[in-house]
Chain A
């Protein structure tokens, strides 16, 4: 008996993950009436009793037409899901305490309006199959890998009398970065490494060159230009090429590892915001100094996965 139940559960709620792309076939879709559908059915019952009682032939007709409509609603709602293809997309990482977004790509050969997507434990979002990719939010609690919970895709379209739904379990995970500390002490370089005093000022005068239309007016070297018969000269400045900061876990203030990681996260984010090249040292991991979003994500990933 127990084995039978187990088997049934296996059949109904398989444990194993679905391999993308997941085609919603007839066997995967469940259909049950909604509250509105129940109300509708009871109204039909009342109407039937009324028709019988008063021998209303057209009453029978109306009741049966509405009953037929109920059946049509079942099929149409089912049809709104059947044949839909789900494929995990590019998930959007987030910080702990915020939300990560799991992306699901919906594909169908005809429009599928009014779909609802929900990750177990997350909010419900509306979608339709013409959106190529939907991001489904999920609250992220802890840093590290957040595996994708069971996805419920449901619809009550077109009549709202019936709800059809299906589950998708993708073996996917999304990165949760550590929560950045709300405030962080400024980075103090330990010893030689860190920001050197003399460099990094992007406003250092670098030289003169002929003025171009795109140059800022305040960069025009008026005095130098006066010596020319025509044309202007522009001041040139050293491009932002300040020497990189090296953030190091061992020199980060904070009582616990998580505190330190939070502060490091804050530093990394702040450095990225001002386009300051930075590097990161986490125990054995070493990420060379650079700028750009790829670098940011690499650093945050290292922070998220550090143990």
Chain B
């Protein structure tokens, strides 16, 4: 009961938070055309303190999306291009022996930033991948026995080329689970593409983008997100969804408890983006496809169903309790 006053205070701030998020989405929508839904999902993912995996063909704007978010949220940005010859040290940093001082000096790697764009993670070897993924999970890195905390907040937006391309190492399932959401951007629709072609270069626009958030405002937004109320009935619904995936013959594996927690957190974020102090089943349904797309695999009858279609099937298979 003691926690309630603080929760109430954040809930009363809700309209302000809602307005902020709307501003961010509007500004981002100016640059990334025709991708409002994906932008909203990406923002929800960040508000839920989750990492984002974008899987799509090269050139559809994955990097721009990451850039825009980093800019608007006022986050320190680093981009890591993953290659097959990459070593963990290239990500985490390395201690270099300096003859002058006679000691090892740690040179932090690119991971020490607030928003990381890990480009084409599936190009790197599993060893390099796992260095990144461990950092994502622990929000700290360990090198030569010394644990170093990563900056706060810490987000990873990883992009991945569609698998089955030669020379790639698709992320293993256990690693995929560490991404809260997986989204696809897809080709822009006709109107968006026309605007894109006719408009100014995105990079120029990006450069002129002012940050919309103050130093710890993102933190506040995240706190507000976790204060969104999820009623017992709603938790029951989330449970029913997870339960279904765990037993149904239509899936070859079930949702992990981490995925269930993530689903609820993302639904809270979605409710905040909708300006609502409580979560509705509709919020869960809105974020669910992104949450399950990289976690569930169709089995048996649904064989071949992938991505959002799988999420849609799940939603329609589980009645509200």
Contact = CB atoms under 8 A, between A and B. Distances in A.
B102 A229 contact: yes
Given A88-B249, A105-B247, A212-B144, A301 B303 contact: yes
A288 B173 contact: no
Interface stretch (A31-39, A263-271, A290-298): A290-298
A268 B177 CA distance: 27
A163 interface: no
A172 B144 contact: no
A87 B252 CA distance: 15
B170 interface: yes
Nearest to B89: A209
B104 A290 contact: no
A90 B249 contact: yes
A112 interface: no
Interface string A272-301: 000000000000000111101010010001
B144 A288 contact: no
A220 to B, nearest CB: 15
Interface string A67-100: 0000000000000000000011111000000000
A236 interface: yes
A90 B164 contact: no
Contacts of B144: 210, 212
A228 interface: yes
A297 B104 CA distance: 47
Contact of B163 (A231, A290, A297): A290
A65 B236 CA distance: 47
Contacts of B248: 87, 89-90
B300 interface: yes
B249 A289 contact: no
B166 A288 contact: yes
B95 A210 contact: yes
Contacts of A287: 164
A90 B97 contact: no
* Size category of the binding interface on chain B: 20 to 34
Contacts of A241: 84, 125, 169
A239 B89 contact: no
B252 A297 contact: yes
A228 B104 CA distance: 11
B138 interface: no
Interface in A166-212: 172-175, 207, 209-210, 212
Given A132-B247, A294-B173, 7 more contacts: A172-B301, A236-B87, A239-B125, A241-B169, A288-B164, A288-B165, A292-B172
Interface of B: 84, 87, 89, 94-95, 97, 102, 104, 125-127, 144-145, 163-166, 169-170, 172-173, 247-249, 251-252, 297, 299-301, 303
For the complex of A and B, the 3 pairs showing the least CB-CB separation, nearest first, are A288-B164, A239-B125, A105-B247
30 contacts: A89-B248, A89-B249, A90-B300, A91-B249, A103-B249, A105-B247, A132-B247, A172-B300, A172-B301, A173-B301, A175-B300, A209-B89, A209-B94, A210-B95, A210-B104, A210-B144, A212-B144, A212-B145, A231-B97, A239-B126, A239-B127, A241-B169, A288-B163, A288-B164, A288-B165, A288-B166, A292-B173, A294-B173, A294-B297, A297-B252
